[in-house]
Structure 1
Amino acid sequence: MAPAAAPDGDGAQIIEPQPEVDESVISIPTLSVTEAEVGDEDEEAEEDAPDDPIDPARLSAPRKKKRKSKTTASRGPTALPKYRGNGFEEYFADPPMTPQEAMEEKQEIYSPRMQSCIQRFRSRRRIQYPRTTYFDDYLFLGGVDTKPGAYTGLDPKELKQLTAAQRREATSRDVIYEGTGAGGRFYDGDETKWTVDFAGVAAGFLSRAIIPLTGLQTGPMEDAIDVVENFLRYVLHHDVCPEYEENVKEALKVCLMAREEWPMLNSLQTALPGLFNFAATELFSKTDPDAWAFDLFQIPEGFDAKSVFYSVVTMLEDFKAFEHLFGKSVEVVDQYECTLEITKVNLPAKELIEQFQKLAITIDDNKKIRLLPMGKVTLKPAVIEDGWVEPDIQHPLLGEEIDLYFEQNILANLKPGMKMTLEICDLGSDVRFVKRIRKIVPSFYTFLAQELMIHFRAPQENDRPAPSVHDPTAEDNQPMEE
């Protein structure tokens, strides 16, 4: 910087020598600028600027104090950085802990076990809507009360007087009861009526509750699975319940199965029923034209049911079926609805695929219909529990396994363990086709009785008079409850 100039009595400028100044650091009261903080552009502007003595009044003006944010260390042990994201990023991981922090978690933080774990998980993850809804529903199925706690209206001044752990406990919305406080709707600490099953709760949530919550749309479904998976990994990482470590790992496997199987089942919406089963329905059960809904499945123009059905039977080389179907008047001898579980998926062999690739059914105007290679699935009788009381009816298949034919693109989206409720038509001689599929569930499908408690309200005494012949409108005239 240029030296400061002072005028003499004649108005001439006398240049007084100034002490050498280290240009790397210029220190003035309440101001410090270093080379590291000044860029090249600022230096050039400073050289071109006219000399201007610093105004002492400007330096003596009061400056606002910046509120210093607490450091990670001052916020207590096991605190996370404030700019860590929301905790659900693809490569997010909890930071490593010191031995002292690990001991504190084990002896103090997680002494009440799962309740503290859930509360701390919420505080260390920035769970926002709709993930909050997914997490609440998941916890509810596990017997955890997630309603707002009784201390949500606590004075902030009173909260400041509490420790971080006490503050988290007072403002918590997740409660695991240990007595009659549950009121019959949640877990009450009675091990004779409840069991700890991380895998079962995850399966129940990801096979049933996830459907109305996400509509099985890809994005929301991934978020719902991610919330459960993230929580389970948190339980493992912090060693919350080591005695159930294997069960927690099984629950993580359920999350992987959900990621694999739900897209498969979604793909079946455009693949079912397949040309073979549709052709069989057209030929032998035409009295029910609405057996299949064709919102997504497309029927090729000029489709001929008879050509497709008998071409497939011929290509499969099932001689028993061939002898029964050809040269005879065939009708449906039995029709029934049943629930079956897939035990084996038999994809078409390489030779059969090559034969189907050479097959083309010619229709009018020289148009051709190509048929996909056919395979079959082996199924056995099963039950899909859903909370409804079903009449005790003897299963029509009496425990036997059956085979059903499907196209290759359908078989690719089926796996052993999946269950289906379907309507089957029997043509005799073990020749069957699928007339309607009412439901397909993944292999990890689980019904939890806790689902029945979603809308449960404890009965209360009512002292209001009931309607009678003397006062039929008694109930209508009652004041509304607040």
Structure 2
Amino acid sequence: MDSSDPIDAIVSQIDSLTVGTSNVGNTPPAHPAAAPNSKEQNPTQATQTNGSGAAEAGDAPKKKKKRRKGGKGKTLPSGFEENFVEAPLTAEEYNKDKELYSPQKTVAERIETAVQKYKSKRKLDPLRHQLLEAYYHLGGIKTGAKMFGGLDQKFMKENDTEEIARFKATDYVPESMKNIGVQRVEELDDDYEDPEYTVDFDYVVRAFVTHKIPFDFGIKKPDEIEKAVNTIKNFLNYILYHNVCPEYTDNIKQAVKTCDKANEELPLCAVLSGKFPGDFNRACSTLFGGYWSYMTPREWEKADGEQNFDKPEPGLSKENALEIYHALITELPHIASDLSRIPKEIYREYASLEVVSVWLPEPGNPLRLGKIVCKSWTPEETLPITSKWNEPNNLTLYCEKTVTQYAYPGMHFGCTLHELDSGLVYFDEISGVMCSNFLEIRDEKELEVDSDDFDFD
């Protein structure tokens, strides 16, 4: 007989929904609260059991799991954000750094460790990865599997995880540079005949940001220049922050300043490399037998004889060049401008120049030409260059003020100079526009290519 006690009713209800091992396979009774027409509605059970007694999901809706905030969808910082700052070191991290970068270790060991740690802390996109690899290579750090780099079980057992990771790392200082920064004594050093390397962060950074970035990588856009230069600056700041080479702190800080200077000058050099030599010099070159005289546009013709102007050639037409020359030569009263005769070239020289000063007409002045005063310049690490315009014989070049405004004292550029019997000197064939602290150094492979030219065996 059923009890009328409500508690007994609840217990009975729970029992009816609980499936034990003793009644596996039995269908649980209908819910006591089911409607009279439940057969027609075909109500769905919340759970059923399988053959092993485990509950199977029925058709009852499942509760959705709440997504945790800050989960997989959150983008982790790359370490190159504009306002990125290294997190303060904990006491444990500080002590670990002191161990990793102990002054008792050689500079080579510390730099090798720092490079490996840095790359593990940064999210590198393809361009940054390529830039850093080239920068490390220029500084003497090799990338790739080490020779005889296999690890046997004995090595794995005798060394800790950090030493194993260091040995397996793909960025390392080669054996030939293991004593870099160590003072050498000829009488005591058996390897004294090997080349001696010095530690100079600024020297390598100068060569990379002023030569490799604009010329080898061909980076010209301001935002790309900033990204490239700041990638190197980010690494230098990491070296400073973790006190990797305290004995070279001043040199590293100078390298950071070199990066800041490159961020200021490289965009100007990139603009000038596209604008030089300006229309006035192109016109002179076109009219008086210079480089641009071979670039005079011609009319292209289709097969049916119709003219096609969809493929214009570079350069100026003779008519356009003459118009520009006549309009601007009158701004130079000291230059003989007899329009009835064609000036003749009396001297030509390929020159490397350094800008000494720049002159621009005052705002509102109708003059269109500015002045760039230059002197002959010998690039660092090259043989001296002799020139007609060595100091104190400075040279004045003329260019539209819309072009001249990007030049600045200290900037360098290579070009061909043409002196006319009228007294005018114009320039064309620009080979490059370079920063004030430009430096080109070549690695061993590039030097080997040059040496092959003189191998007569």
TM interval, short-chain normalised:
0.5 to 0.7
Is the Cα contact below 8 Å between 2:271 and 2:406 reproduced in 1? yes
Q: How do 1:274-423 residues align onto structure 2 when only pairs under 5 Å count?
A: 274-285=278-289, 289-290=293-294, 304-314=320-330, 316=331, 318-321=332-335, 324-326=336-338, 329=341, 330-352=343-365, 355-356=366-367, 373-384=368-379, 394-399=386-391, 400-423=393-416
SS in 2 for 1:350: coil
8 Å Cα contact 2:206/2:255 also seen in 1: yes
Deviation at 1:191, TM superposition (A): 5.3
Please say which of residues 299-308 and 328-337 is displaced more in the overlay: 299-308
1:215 paired residue among 215, 218, 226 = 218
**d(CA) in 1 for partners of 2:229 and 2:264?**
11
Contact 1:320 1:429 in 2 (8 A): no
1:235 deviates by 1.0
Q: Secondary structure at the match of 1:325?
A: coil
The answer on whether the counterparts of 1:384 and 1:419 sit within 8 Å (CA) in structure 2 is: no
Q: Secondary structure at the match of 1:285?
A: coil
| Superposed CA offset, 1:40-59 (max 9, x none) | xxxxxxxxx99958989548
1:406 counterpart letter in structure 2:
C
Q: SS where residue 356 of structure 2 aligns?
A: strand
Is 1:206–2:209 an aligned residue pair?
yes
What is the CA-CA distance between 1:278 and the residue it aligns to?
Answer: 1.7
Give the Cα–Cα distance (whole angstroms) in 2 for the partners of residues 244 and 393 of structure 1. Answer: 34
The AA in structure 1 aligned to 2:201 is F
How far apart are residue 421 of structure 1 and its match? Answer: 1.7
Alignment RMSD: 4.3
CA gap of 1:53–1:173, structure 2 versus 1, over 3 A, is: closer
Q: Secondary structure at the match of 1:413?
A: coil
**Contact 1:229–1:252 under 8 Å retained in 2:** yes
Supply the distance in 2 between the matched residues of 1:427 and 1:161 (Cα, whole angstroms): 78
Aligned mates of 1:298, 1:226 — CA distance in 2: 36
Offset, 1:9: 5.4
**Matched AA of 2:136:** L
Cα distance in 2 for residues equivalent to 1:406 and 1:267 = 14
Partners of 2:225 and 2:153 in 1: CA distance:
37
TM-aligned CA distance change 1:300 to 1:143, over 3 Å? closer
How far is 1:289 from its partner?
A: 1.6
Give the whole-Å Cα distance in 1 for the aligned partners of 2:180 and 2:97: 25
- The one-letter code sitting in structure 2 at the alignment partner of 1:383 is T
Kindly indicate whether the alpha-carbon contact (under 8 Å) linking 2:297 and 2:314 is maintained by their aligned counterparts in 1.
no
Residue in 1 aligned with 2:35? none
Q: Look up the match of 1:132.
A: 129
Shift of 1:264: 2.6
Aligned partners of 2:379, 2:313: CA distance in 1, in Å? Answer: 26
CA contact (8 A) 2:295 2:314 kept: no
Q: Which amino acid aligns with 2:209?
A: L
Residues 406 and 99 of structure 1, relative CA distance in 2, 3 Å threshold: same
Judge conservation of contact 1:421–1:440 (CA < 8 Å) in 2.
yes
Shift of 1:243: 3.0
Per the alignment, residue 238 of structure 2 pairs with 234
Cα distance in 1, alignment partners of residues 164 and 346 from structure 2: 71
Corresponding residue of 1:174: 171
Counterpart residue number, 1:96: 88
Distance 1:133 1:275, change over 3 A: closer
Distance 1:228 1:327 in 2: 54
Partner Cα separation in structure 1 for residue 217 and residue 99 of structure 2? 39
The letter for the 1-side match of 2:369 is M
Distance 2:121 2:291 in 1: 60
How many aligned positions are there?
Answer: 371
Q: Which deviates more, 326-335 or 274-283? A: 326-335
- CA–CA distance in 2 between the matches of 1:97 and 1:327? 74
Q: Pick from 267, 272, 292: which aligns with 1:268?
A: 272
* Equivalent AA in structure 2 for residue 104 of structure 1: K
In structure 1, distance between residues paired with 2:238 and 2:208: 18
Instruction: Provide TM-score, normalisation by structure 2.
Output: 0.67
How far does the alpha carbon of each residue in 1:367-422 deviate from its partner, in whole angstroms, 9 at most, with x for none?
A: xxxxxx321111111123587xx6x7632224321110111232233222222221
CA contact 1:146–1:174 (8 Å) conserved in 2: yes
User: Is the Cα–Cα contact under 8 Å of residues 378 and 385 in structure 2 kept in the other structure?
Assistant: no
Structure 1 unaligned residues grouped into runs of 5+: 1-7, 20-48, 61-81, 357-372, 460-466, 468-482
Per-residue deviation, 1:161? 7.6
- Percent identity of paired positions between Structure 1 and Structure 2: 24
